[in-house]
């Protein structure tokens, strides 16, 4: 039972354009969401988070949007840079297991120079 | 560098041997989490520990796997009698507290069982 889904395994974007990565979840108890970036042979690096009391959180080039009614979140990267090429994981937590992150399967972003 | 440290980075074991993975949390962090990533999958929660206490081990296989976080020293994830299906990347994360505290991950240990 995949509670957090990233339906696009890969995405290619031209440098300077917007990258939009999507994530859907099924568990209505989730109330905290995070995005991590991962390079090959490295650990996930925290990017940005959002709690369910908000619908948007911004940090520099990264913005996360949360649509609770649709159980959907997205990560926008503007402008995209070649160094952003990596695998992006969304994660969710909530309910009694607030420390138990549930991860999606990842989206591989390639930013073309 | 005060990040989460894991060693070894790569570990090769033959079937039936034991694997010991170590994790030192970030300075000031007293909460440690272990996750496993199988090829082409996301990370899966295994266990959550505080110093000298296992808080939640609901993601750990029932047999052969154990974890500890002693008063002194790193957290250890121990896999006894490894099998080929244990081949994966094992990531440790730490946080200063629980709840809405962000978890920061180490570089991982890649275990290969021959």
Express each pLDDT in B46-104 by its tens digit: 999 998 899 999 999 999 999 999 999 999 999 999 999 999 999 999 998 766 789 99
The CA–CA distances, whole Å, from B54 to A26, A94, B60, B77, B104 equal 28, 20, 11, 12, 19
Say what the pLDDT of residue B40 is: 80
Number of H helices, E strands in chain A: 0, 11
Q: Do B103 and A99 touch (CB under 8 A)?
A: yes
Q: Is B84 on the interface with A (CB under 8 A)?
A: no
Q: Is A34 on the interface with B (CB under 8 A)?
A: yes
To test the contact with chain B by mutation, choose from A99, A102, A105 the residue with the greatest count of B C-beta atoms within 10 A, namely A99
Is residue B28 pLDDT above 90, yes or no?
Answer: no
Q: Which regions in chain A score pLDDT beneath 70?
A: 1, 96-97
Say what the pLDDT of residue A98 is: 80
SS3 B84: helix
Q: Do A101 and B108 touch (CB under 8 A)?
A: no
Residue A107 contacts residue A8 (beta carbons within 8 Å):
yes
Q: Do B105 and A4 touch (CB under 8 A)?
A: no
Say what the pLDDT of residue B99 is: 63
Q: Do A105 and B41 touch (CB under 8 A)?
A: yes
Interatomic CA distance for residues A16 and A23, integer angstroms: 23
The CA–CA distances, whole Å, from A71 to A58, A68, A75, B73 equal 19, 5, 14, 41
Helix extents (H) in B1-114: none
What H or E segment, with its residue span, contains residue A111? strand A107-112
Phi, psi for residue A56 in degrees, rounded to 5: -155, 140
Interatomic CA distance for residues B85 and B49, integer angstroms: 24
Q: Tens digits of per-residue pLDDT, A54-67?
A: 999 999 999 999 99
Contacts of B43 in chain A (CB under 8 A): 44, 89, 91, 101, 103
Interatomic CA distance for residues B8 and B27, integer angstroms: 19
């Amino acid at each position: 039972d995949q509670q957090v889904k990233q339906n696009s395994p890969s995405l290619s974007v031209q440098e300077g354009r917007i990258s939009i990565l999507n994530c859907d979840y099924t568990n209505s108890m989730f109330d905290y969401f995070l995005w991590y970036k991962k390079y090959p042979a490295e650990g996930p690096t925290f990017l940005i988070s959002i709690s369910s009391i908000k619908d948007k959180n911004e940090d520099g080039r990264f913005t996360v949007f949360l649509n609770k009614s649709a159980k959907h979140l997205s990560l926008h990267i503007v402008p995209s840079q070649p160094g952003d090429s990596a695998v992006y994981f969304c994660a969710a937590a909530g309910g009694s297991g607030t420390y138990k992150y549930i991860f999606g399967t990842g989206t591989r972003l390639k930013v073309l120079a | 560098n005060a990040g989460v440290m894991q060693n070894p980075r790569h570990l090769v074991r033959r079937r039936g041997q034991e694997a010991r993975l170590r994790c030192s949390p970030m300075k000031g962090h007293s909460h440690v989490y272990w996750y496993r990533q199988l090829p082409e999958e996301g990370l899966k929660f295994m266990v959550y520990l505080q110093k000298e206490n296992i808080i939640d081990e609901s993601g750990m296989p029932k047999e052969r796997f154990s974890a500890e976080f002693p008063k002194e020293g790193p957290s250890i994830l121990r896999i006894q009698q490894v099998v080929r299906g244990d081949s994966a990347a094992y990531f440790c994360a730490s946080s200063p507290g629980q709840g809405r505290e962000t978890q920061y991950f180490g570089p991982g240990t890649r275990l290969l069982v021959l």
